[in-house]
C-alpha cells in the first residue's frame, strides 16, 4: 500500500469534471456560430441522448431540477396533490413538489439498496396521492417493476429521478426510461456533464410536447402567445456542445467508472465496520458515487468526524444526504428511522472515472486506518 504523505499529496477530489475529447472544439464552434442560446448542439444532444437511452423523446433542460419541474407541470401535479418521494435522497423531487404547490410525502428506503420500495411507497398512498418519484440514488436503480405495478393498480403517475443513474440498467432497461417520464442531471459531477444541464425523457409525444411548452414560456406556435404559464428552462447551445462531446465518449466513461468501482469493491468488501451500498442482481449500475455505511462501533468518532479527518489526510469525501426528518422546518415532522440511520452513517468516497489505482489505494488505506 502507498504511504500517505500529508505534506506533499494533493487533495483527491470527491469528483471532478473531465473532458474526454471534443468538448473544447464543440464549445468554440457553438460560440463562433453566434448561436449561444438555442442552437444545433441542443438538437443534436437531444437526438444523441435519445439514441443512447433508447427513448423516443428527449427534452433537454437547464438542469435536472428544471427537468423535474417540467415533468411535474406536464403531468398536472399541482396544489394539494401529494407526491411520494424517498426520505433519504437528494431532495430536488421534494422541493420541486413544494414549488408546484404539492406536498412531498416521504417514503422509507431500503436499508441495503437505499432506494424506495413498492411496499414502503404503498404505506404512503392516500386519496390525495398523485405521483411517485423513485430516486435512483448514487447510480442504483429502485425496484421499478414493483413500483410501476403499484402505480398502475392505484392509478398514479411515476417520474423516475435518474439524475444520478445515467447509464445504469434494471433488468436490461435504462434507468429513467421505465416510467411515464424520467429525468437526468448533467451537472459538473455527473456521469455525463454539460456544466449545468439536464433532460427529461418520455415515450409519450403528448407529455413531451407539454414539457417543451412549459420549458419555453408556454409559447408554442404563436410568438408572445402564452398557452400556459410557462418558464424558461432551456439548455444553452454552448452547454449542449459539451454534452455532445461527452456522449461520444460515454462507453469509455462508464467503463472507467466500472473500473473504479470494481477496484474499491475489491479492497473494501470484506472490511469490518464498512458496508457498501448493495446492488441487486437485477441492477447493472453505473456507479456515480461510491458510497458506504459505516458501523459506529468501528468508527465511534462518527461520520462527520471521519469526513473531516479524511480531508486532513488529503481526501475529499461527502456525507450521505440529510434525511427528510432532519429538516422539519421544511418538510414537517417525519418518522423515518431507516433514512435517519443512513443519514448518520453514509459516506461517499472520491468517485471520478479518472481516479488512478494509487489514488483508490490511498483512499481505502486512510478509510480503513480511521477505524478505532
Ligand X SMILES: Cc1ncc(COP(=O)(O)O)c(C=O)c1O
The contact set with ligand X (CB under 6 A) reads 63-65, 89-90, 92, 135, 161, 163-164, 185, 187, 198
- 66: burial class by Cβ within 10 Å (0-12, 13-18, 19+)? buried
Please tell me the distance from the alpha carbon of residue 228 to that of residue 245, in angstroms, as a whole number: 34
Q: Name the grid cell of 198.
A: 439536464
Nearer to ligand X, 92 or 102 (CB): 92
Q: Minimum CB separation from ligand X for residue 64, in Å?
A: 3
Please tell me the distance from the alpha carbon of residue 31 to that of residue 10, in angstroms, as a whole number: 34
| Contact of 101 with 78, CB cutoff 8 Å | yes
Q: Minimum CB separation from ligand X for residue 358, in Å?
A: 29
Nearer to ligand X, 90 or 114 (CB): 90
Q: Minimum CB separation from ligand X for residue 226, in Å?
A: 25
| Contact of 143 with 118, CB cutoff 8 Å | yes
Nearer to ligand X, 2 or 330 (CB): 330
Q: Minimum CB separation from ligand X for residue 320, in Å?
A: 12
Please tell me the distance from the alpha carbon of residue 4 to that of residue 149, in angstroms, as a whole number: 50
Nearer to ligand X, 121 or 135 (CB): 135
Q: Minimum CB separation from ligand X for residue 284, in Å?
A: 19
Nearer to ligand X, 140 or 254 (CB): 140
Q: Minimum CB separation from ligand X for residue 363, in Å?
A: 22
What region does 218 belong to: left with phi over 0, alpha with psi -120 to 50, or beta? left
Those residues with Cβ within 8 angstroms of residue 257's Cβ, 6 or more apart along the chain or in another chain: 191, 286, 287, 288, 351, 353
Nearer to ligand X, 182 or 314 (CB): 182
Amino acid at each position: 500500500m502507498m504511504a500517505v504523505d500529508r505534506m506533499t499529496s494533493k487533495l483527491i477530489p470527491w469528483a471532478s469534471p473531465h473532458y474526454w475529447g471534443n468538448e473544447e472544439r464543440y464549445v468554440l464552434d457553438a460560440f463562433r456560430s453566434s448561436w449561444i442560446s438555442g442552437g444545433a448542439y441542443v438538437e443534436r444532444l437531444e437526438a444523441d441522448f435519445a439514441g443512447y437511452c433508447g427513448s423516443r423523446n428527449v427534452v433537454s433542460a437547464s438542469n435536472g431540477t428544471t427537468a423535474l419541474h417540467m415533468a411535474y407541470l406536464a403531468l398536472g401535479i399541482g396544489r394539494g396533490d401529494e407526491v411520494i418521494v424517498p426520505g433519504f435522497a437528494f431532495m430536488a423531487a421534494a422541493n420541486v413538489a413544494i414549488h408546484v404547490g404539492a406536498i412531498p410525502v416521504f417514503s422509507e428506503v431500503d436499508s441495503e439498496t437505499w432506494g424506495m420500495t413498492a411496499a414502503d411507497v404503498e404505506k404512503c398512498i392516500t386519496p390525495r396521492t398523485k405521483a411517485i418519484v423513485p430516486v435512483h440514488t448514487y447510480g442504483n436503480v429502485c425496484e421499478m417493476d414493483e413500483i410501476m405495478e403499484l402505480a398502475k393498480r392505484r392509478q398514479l403517475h411515476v417520474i423516475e429521478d435518474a439524475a444520478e443513474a445515467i447509464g445504469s440498467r434494471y433488468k436490461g432497461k435504462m434507468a429513467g426510461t421505465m416510467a411515464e417520464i424520467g429525468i437526468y442531471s448533467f451537472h459538473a459531477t455527473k456521469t455525463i456533464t454539460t456544466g449545468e444541464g439536464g433532460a427529461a425523457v418520455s415515450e409519450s409525444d403528448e407529455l413531451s410536447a407539454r414539457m417543451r411548452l412549459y420549458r419555453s414560456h408556454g409559447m408554442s406556435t404563436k410568438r408572445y402567445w402564452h398557452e400556459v404559464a410557462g418558464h424558461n428552462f432551456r439548455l444553452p447551445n454552448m452547454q449542449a456542445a459539451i454534452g455532445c462531446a461527452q456522449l461520444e465518449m460515454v462507453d469509455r466513461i462508464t467503463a472507467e467508472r466500472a473500473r473504479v468501482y470494481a477496484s474499491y469493491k475489491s479492497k473494501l468488501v470484506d472490511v469490518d465496520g464498512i458496508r457498501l451500498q448493495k446492488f441487486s442482481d437485477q441492477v447493472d449500475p453505473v456507479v456515480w458515487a461510491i458510497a458506504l455505511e459505516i458501523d459506529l462501533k468501528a468508527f465511534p468518532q462518527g461520520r462527520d468526524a471521519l469526513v473531516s479527518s479524511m480531508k486532513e489526510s488529503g481526501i475529499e469525501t461527502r456525507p450521505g444526504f440529510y434525511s427528510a426528518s432532519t429538516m422539519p422546518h421544511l418538510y414537517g415532522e417525519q418518522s423515518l428511522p431507516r433514512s435517519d440511520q443512513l443519514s448518520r452513517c453514509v459516506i461517499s468516497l472520491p468517485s471520478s472515472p479518472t481516479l488512478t489505482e494509487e489514488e483508490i489505494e490511498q483512499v481505502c488505506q486512510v478509510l480503513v486506518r480511521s477505524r478505532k
